[in-house]
Structure 1
Amino acid sequence: MNLSTRSKPTEDASGQGNSRDDALSLAVQALHTPDFFPAMIGLLRRAAPFTGAFVTTLHPNRAPTHVHDNVRAERRRVVIDDYLESAYLLDPIHDVFLSGATDCAVRLRDVAPDHFRRSTYYKLYYGNIDLRDEMALLIRMPGGSALFYSLGRIGREPRFTARDLAAFRRQLPLIGSLSRKHFENRPDEPPYGLGQSITQALEQFGTDVLTAREREIAGLILKGHSSASIGALTGTTTGTVKIHRKNLYRKLGIGSQSELLSRFLQSVMR
């Protein structure tokens, strides 16, 4: 690369130099300061462009902790508060974390259930935030938690490509080292929102009327699995799954997936 090109970096929307070396230098300088995560977002944009950024700490047995976001004030209720209060329970990325995967980069569409985009949850949450695509970075942290960088493209922006994914994966060792360094010798932050896992929430949902199998199938429906996918996961036929769905709807006095989601969220918020 020509040295004259490197000596005069261009600027991104935040006014910060946008060469990788400049972005890395800013992130290192910002360690242990409030400027760290804005600097990290600038560094991550060197791998591939994105618009939205929402950073949380995921915990095995309680709700995520808010860390940083660049969401406009008028959008916070829909994008931030709804996620931290209950939407995280049905997030495929949260499931990836619960499976034990950390220090990884994944695209939402690569880990979501087969009918996720048709699910009421997707339409109500992701539809409201106008998310086009999401890249997730999960960074291992002490105590079994993980730092979750949610990077979003919205509206008509293009989806993340395989090349984008590879670029973020190359950055993981650096992002992980910087993130862990930033939190060194800092006490864990208090939990934000509800203190339960999806397993606990579903175990308690409809216990007075639903069988254990019906609660399991209700959870898979809410996450966006098709009847065929649920059958494969539970070792039953598609026809049996449909019967269970019909029975649980009847027992709950509902007639649609949107009513099922509403009933589930009501039980979570009690």
Structure 2
Amino acid sequence: MPANSAYNQELARLFTRVGQDDFAEQLVITLKSLVPVDDATILVYPDKALPIIEYFEVPETMATSTLDMFVAGAFMLDPYYQAASRDRRFGVFRLRDLAPAGFRDSEYYKTWYKRCGYQDECGFLLPNGDQGFINIALGRTRPRNKFSPQQVAALASIQPVIAVLCQQHWQTMPTQGAVNLRAQLHTALQEFGSSLLTEREAQVINLVLHGHSTKTLAEKLSISVETVKLHRKHAYAKLEVGSQAELFYLFLDSLMSAGDYAGGDTLVAYLQPPPRPCL
């Protein structure tokens, strides 16, 4: 445990705040007493439901929040979410530990991380129930101000006690019989474009949305870089988009307009012309 008197005092306060409304705020204060942090976000993912924002600071570099878009479905493209939900990886990670090569060129990165002004991120992923988890995101926004290996190690050393306190505070509620909203969104992402694209084109588009570069995409699919470019070109033409930005917003718009999603490609209903008014 770190020999830091300020941290130890804040940690003692944190123990007394479990179950109280100000627990998340005190948690951030405790972490900031150990490692310098410019802003923080705490997201709690129940077993089946959409993420719940328990704490959020708006960085000075960010005029408006993108959290509404994030909670509506963009979170599925986040490397931290992918690591916890798909791979069940837990611990303390820097963004570069989890993101695919080329992620910084993705529209998701530009919309979320770059708009927040992040220079670096270090986050806790903590299990909470069978499929639930907690993501504590700590950001650095000042130029050339990144988390050092020593600071990451300090955060990792306190992970066990932080995990226990968070699990006690955000105990998972029973969700048997409830609609699995996150599973529905995973299906929507997997099926996106399938009504218009070939199977390979849809695979390419899915990986593009996740931030993979042309090179890593080719490696994942065991095809050449030129073949990847050809599939992407054909997919963009069929979807009538000209860039990764347009592809990203087409996916989000079709997802958010889906309403009571029952499966299949969200583009089917999204691209359907509105009914003509009765005369």
TM-score range, shorter-chain basis? 0.7 to 0.9
CA distance in 2: counterparts of 1:20 and 1:73, whole angstroms: 25
Which of 212, 221, 224 is the matching residue for 1:225?
Answer: 212
Tell me the equivalent position of 2:112: 125
Matched, 1:183 2:165: no
Partners of 1:245 and 1:61 lie apart in 2 by: 33
Determine if contact 2:17/2:23 at 8 Å carries over to the other structure. Answer: yes
**Distance in 2 separating the partners of 1:232 and 1:124:** 26
Structure 1 moving runs of 4+ over 6 Å: none
* Partner residue of 2:244 out of 234, 243, 257: 257
Q: 1: distance between equivalents of 2:153 and 2:229?
A: 39
Match of 1:172 in 2: 159
Structure 1's unaligned 5+ residue stretches are 1-5, 10-17
Equivalent-residue separation in structure 1 for 2:60 and 2:154 (angstroms): 31
- Opposite residue 159 of structure 2, the aligned amino acid is L
Structure 2 counterpart of 1:3? none
How far apart, CA to CA, are the structure 1 residues paired with 2:216 and 2:34?
34
Is 1:242 matched with 2:229?
yes
Which of 145, 161, 165 is the equivalent residue of 1:158? 145
Deviations 1:149-204 (A, max 9, x none): 011111326111221211111111110111112234x7369x9xx75566312233
1:99-151, CA deviations, whole angstroms, 9 ceiling, x for partnerless residues? 33343110012211111111222122222211121111011111321111011
SS at match of 1:49: coil
- Residue 254 of structure 1 aligns to a residue whose secondary structure is coil
Tell me the distance in 2 between the aligned counterparts of 1:243 and 1:198: 28
When the two chains are superposed, the root-mean-square deviation of aligned CA atoms in Å is 2.7
Distance 2:247 2:66 in 1: 21
2:198 to 190, 211, 224: 211
The reply to whether residue 70 of structure 1 matches residue 57 of structure 2 is yes
1:267 to 254, 263, 277: 254
User: 1 CA distance for matches of 2:47 and 2:228?
Assistant: 29
1:105 alignment partner, SS class: strand
Normalising by structure 2, report the TM-score: 0.81
Say if 1:19 and 1:129 are closer, same or farther in 2 by CA, change over 3 A: same
**Whole-Å Cα distance in 2 between the matches of residues 235 and 85 of structure 1?**
33
Residue in 1 that maps onto 2:92: 105
**Residues 126 and 135 in structure 2, CA contact (< 8 A), matched pair in contact too:** yes
CA, structure 1 residues 217+95, in 2 after alignment: closer, same or farther (shift >3 Å)? same
* One-letter amino acid matched to 1:237: S
The question of 1:41 aligning with 2:28 is answered: yes
Return 150-159 or 241-250, whichever deviates more: 150-159
Change (3 A) 1:199 1:144: closer
2:212 and 2:170 map into 1 onto residues whose CA distance is 37
Q: TM-score of the superposition, structure 1-length normalised?
A: 0.83
SS in 2 for 1:137: strand
What secondary structure, in the 3-state scheme, does the structure 1 residue paired with 2:134 have?
strand
2:186 paired with 1:199: yes
Percent identity reads 28
Partners of 2:236 and 2:59 lie apart in 1 by 38
Distance 1:202 1:28 in 2: 40
**Residue among 42, 49, 53 paired with 2:40:** 53
1:143 alignment partner, SS class: coil
Give aligned pairs, total: 251
Aligned-pair distance for 1:79? Answer: 3.9
The 2-side partners of 1:31 and 1:71 are apart by 24
Shift of 1:247: 1.1
Q: Which residue of 2 aligns with 1:27?
A: 14
Q: Structure 1 residues 74, 115: CA separation in 2 closer, same or farther (over 3 Å shift)?
A: closer
CA deviation map 1:194-225 (0-9, x unaligned): 75566312233122201222222112112221
- Measured after TM superposition, the shift of residue 68 of structure 1 is 1.9
Q: Distance in 1 between matches of 2:154 and 2:108?
A: 30
Gaps of 5+ in 2: 258-279
